[in-house]
Chains A and B, each alone.
Chain A
């Protein structure tokens, strides 16, 4: 069993839809939770970062962490075709901030 599980999709939605992307994890010691966006054949770029449980909002993006359920989510409001990319969740332990454990990534396509 992988430490971080993520539905690979692909996920196809119409422009303007609300997108929900999710990851589950098995290691309760994870403290830092991140979402990265990766366009085809490019390096991942950080979208959202949260520490421990709770919600964090940044523009059209909301990251949610539920440590009791070992479940994290990324919501994208008013999705745009430019949001079409692969979204990767990542996690790390306290005091090992450098080593990121990634999910498999969810491929998202937003249709005009």
Chain B
């Protein structure tokens, strides 16, 4: 158990809908990262927050957005869902963000868009 929690574990929804994925980082970790894992694209970095502020952005679609709250938990919002958004979404956390620090991954949320 990495100490990072994600809810829900599974999510099944329809095209065009909006969902919210939630992540609680390890106690004391200020950075939260979101990754998407699909069969064709592999594990891809989406976005990073550090102590409530956006720190780095990857190939995140405009339909996706995230935020980190004062209690450091984070939410990833996915809207106007398409079939291709079906994937595993992982959250990771670490202590710092400037240089490398070990990222601890949560168990993931499996999103299925029908």
Contacts and interface: CB of A to CB of B under 8 A. Distances in A.
A3 B42 CA distance: 12
A28 interface: no
The secondary-structure label for the interface of chain A is loop
Interface of A: 31-32, 41-46, 49, 51, 88, 92, 94-105
5 contacts: A97-B98, A98-B50, A100-B33, A105-B42, A105-B43
B100 A43 contact: no
A100 B105 CA distance: 12
Contacts of B43: 44, 88, 102, 105
Nearest to A102: B43
Nearest to B96: A97
Nearest to B6: A43
Interface centre among B55, B90, B97, B103, by most A CB within 10 Å?
B103
Contact of B106 (A43, A94, A95): A43
Given A98-B31, A102-B42, A105-B42, A43 B105 contact: yes
A74 to B, nearest CB: 16
In this complex, the interface size class of chain B, counting residues with CB under 8 Å from chain A, is: 20 to 34
Given A42-B107, A46-B103, A98-B103, 14 more contacts: A43-B92, A45-B2, A46-B104, A49-B102, A94-B99, A97-B97, A97-B98, A98-B55, A98-B101, A99-B33, A99-B45, A100-B33, A104-B42, A105-B42
A31 B100 CA distance: 9
A95 B44 contact: no
A43 B90 contact: yes
A43 B108 CA distance: 6
A99 B48 contact: yes
A98 B34 CA distance: 11
Contacts of B90: 43-44
A44 to B, nearest CB: 5
Contacts of B100: 31-32, 49, 51, 92, 97
Nearest to B42: A104
A42 B103 CA distance: 15
